[in-house]
Amino acid sequence: MFKVQGKTAFITGAASGIGLGIAKACAKHGMKVVVTDVRRKAVDEALVWFKDNGYEAYGIALDVTDREGYAAAADEAEKIFGGIHLLVNNAGVEAPMGKVWENSYNDFDFMVNVNIRGVLNGVKTILPRILAHGEGGQVVTTCSQSGMYVVPGAALYCMCKAGLIGLMETLQADLRGTNVGASAFCPGPIKGNLSETSREVRPAELTDAASAPAAPAAPPPPPPPAAGDDTRGNFTMPDFSSFILPAEAAGEYVVRGAERQDLYIFTHTDFKASMVEKGDAIVRAYPDQPLKAGFAQAFSFLTQNPVYPEVTTPVGGFE
Ligand SMILES: NC(=O)c1ccc[n+]([C@@H]2O[C@H](COP(=O)([O-])OP(=O)(O)OC[C@H]3O[C@@H](n4cnc5c(N)ncnc54)[C@H](O)[C@@H]3O)[C@@H](O)[C@H]2O)c1
């Protein structure tokens, strides 16, 4: 267990959507909050809520792809609040939806730079500081349900998020024996602004002049159309709006998961059947052949990972 009360949270991509929801939940649970985002103006706007509600928050403009900037931001946060306990690697971007061979090299670089390298930069910069102060803590990375069960036409996004899940699973194992844990936060549809902010923050040198302005932004989640009045070809889009959780609810899931030091943090139990289907498919795909005596023992470092049996079920959800 990790008690968040009185501790410090450092959240990336925290000026909008899920990151802001996590920041608000952390504040409500008694944390000091470092609100970081690449969009300085949005950070300033986000801070107003904390000030108005009497919460301790401090804003830093941080591009997670900037390693020197990351170290400077961590120094600044520690100067203001002391040690950081909770790192939330939340900043993320999307690229135009489509078949991956039709995505551009610029799409590849933009996605990997922010979604993968940005998270690695966070882990490398902040985790040693959390371990060093010894007061305990948690590293939470906003992955996605779509990293668990992929979405056709969103290969770059799903690849990045699946990679982050692997990173958090390995980290949780590597942190055993310490008072710090790792969580893969895998939200389903949550209210956020990923399409808009991804266009806004995309560096000019990674923007494709020909395709960028008209390119559709990649869900997940799909945009919420008004009930019944949005048609794509012959398909009438259902009304998604009632299933999309507010970002503040996502924040509550993260705070609970961080306190429980859960490996996985999910928001929509509705995906459970899909996960069973995928798990069954993987197990079914192994060749039907006799097991080799002694293999599991000889290769126990490959076949046994204690973090999986340790996973337990949290009770109830947040709306
Ligand atoms: N909204 C959903 O339904 C959903 C579902 C699953 C996962 N996610 C993930 O949740 C995270 C937040 O998404 P959201 O929907 O709240 O979007 P959002 O656009 O509301 O928030 C993303 C924030 O990240 C910031 N950002 C982008 N690039 C950055 C960089 N290089 N450095 C620092 N900050 C940067 C943006 O400025 C923005 O404020 C993303 O990682 C996204 O992939 C979202």
Q: Which of 66, 114, 125, 54 is nearest to 90 (CA)?
A: 114
Q: Give the model confidence (pLDDT) of 104-118 as tens digits.
A: 999 999 999 999 999
| pTM, entire model | 0.94
Nearest CA to ligand 1 atom 43: 92
Distance 135 CA to ligand 1 centre (A): 29
> What is the pLDDT, as a whole number, of residue 202?
98
In this structure, are residues 74 and 129 in contact, taking their beta carbons and an 8 Å threshold? yes
pLDDT tier at 219, thresholds 50, 70, 90: very low
Catalytic residues: 157
Average pLDDT, the chain: 94
> What is the pLDDT, as a whole number, of residue 236?
77
E strand spans, the chain: 8-11, 32-37, 57-61, 86-89, 137-142, 180-186, 231-232, 235-236, 264-266
The DSSP secondary structure of 100-132, one letter per residue, reads: TTTS-HHHHHHHIIIIIIHHHHHHHHHHHHHHH
Nearest CA to ligand 1 atom 41: 92
Nearest atom of ligand 1 to the alpha carbon of 196: 19
Q: Give the model confidence (pLDDT) of 71-96 as tens digits.
A: 999 999 999 999 999 999 999 999 99
Determine the average pLDDT of the residues in 308-313: 98
pLDDT tier at 239, thresholds 50, 70, 90: confident
Distance 184 CA to ligand 1 centre (A): 15
Question: What percentage of residues in the chain have a pLDDT greater than 70?
Answer: 92
Residue 196: which region, alpha, beta or left (left: phi > 0; alpha: psi -120 to 50)?
A: alpha
pLDDT tier at 287, thresholds 50, 70, 90: very high
Which residue in this structure is represented by tokens 């108005």? 52
Cα angle: 39, vertex 43, 44; to 5 degrees: 120
- Residue to probe by mutation, ligand 1, list 10, 11, 18, 140, most atoms within 8 Å of CB: 18
Strand partners, 266: 186
Q: Which two tokens stand for residue 115?
A: 């979604």
Distance 242 CA to ligand 1 centre (A): 21
Distance 167 CA to ligand 1 centre (A): 18
Q: DSSP label at 20?
A: H
Nearest CA to ligand 1 atom 25: 13
Q: Give the residue ranges of DSSP H helices in 66-177.
A: 67-81, 105-111, 118-133, 145-148, 155-174
Distance 247 CA to ligand 1 centre (A): 11
Which residues have CB under 6 Å of ligand 1? 12-13, 15-19, 37-39, 42, 62-65, 90-93, 114, 118, 142, 144, 187, 189-190, 192-194, 197, 201, 220-221
Distance CA 95, CA 208 (A): 11
Q: Which two tokens stand for residue 14?
A: 């925290």
Nearest atom of ligand 1 to the alpha carbon of 188: 5
> What is the pLDDT, as a whole number, of residue 214?
40
- Residue to probe by mutation, ligand 1, list 197, 199, 207, 267, most atoms within 8 Å of CB: 197
pLDDT tier at 48, thresholds 50, 70, 90: very high
Structural domains of the chain sorted by starting position, each given as residue range(s) with its CATH number in brackets: 8-303 (3.40.50.720)
Residue 274, SS3?
helix
Determine the average pLDDT of the residues in 223-231: 48
> What is the pLDDT, as a whole number, of residue 210?
61
Nearest CA to ligand 1 atom 32: 63
